[in-house]
Amino acid sequence: MIYDKELYHFLFLHFPIALFITGYMFDLLGYVKSNSNFNQFGFWNLSLGIFGGILSIVTGFITDQSIGHMDNPLPIWTTHGTHMITAVILFICLLILKILNSKEKINISPIIVLIIHTLILMFFIHGTHIGAKLADRL
């Protein structure tokens, strides 16, 4: 049995949401407890969240063929697809920042990295809210 193409997007989208939020919680715990294990868990959740986010974007483009909301991708604040692509790109930049910081190529305070992570996660959650409204889930 072949399922509706929208179903695949709905199946994939929950993984990056859970992974990005869980990764943030681990990073927060790692900062508060000064525990590198929490930071490592946060790093892997962020990495897997990016992978899941890319899969969600691909399935989102497939789903959008019947919806057409990406016909006009701007403004970012009101277009779910553009918002989520931007959020995943920001998470990729955060991952690169964390890698460079851990290898001491750059020196950024852990609180600054956590603040950046907080802002990106808030942006991401706003985009998921727009998607839920687009799918008539809210």
The pTM of the full predicted model, rounded to 2 decimals, is 0.90
Rounded CA separation 23/51 (Å): 13
Sequence spans of domains, the chain = 5-134
Q: pLDDT tens, 66-75?
A: 777 777 777 8
**What CA–CA distance (Å, rounded) separates 124 from 117?**
10
Distance CA 29, CA 17 (A): 18
Q: How far is the C-alpha of 21 from the C-alpha of 67, rounded, in Å?
A: 28
CA distance 87 to 123: 7
> Left, alpha or beta for 116 (phi > 0: left; psi -120 to 50: alpha)?
alpha
Average pLDDT, the chain: 89
* pLDDT tens column, 96-131: 999 999 998 999 999 999 999 999 999 999 999 988
In terms of phi and psi (left: phi > 0; alpha: psi -120 to 50; beta: otherwise), the region of 108 is: beta
pLDDT in tens, 35-70: 789 999 999 999 999 999 999 999 888 887 777 777
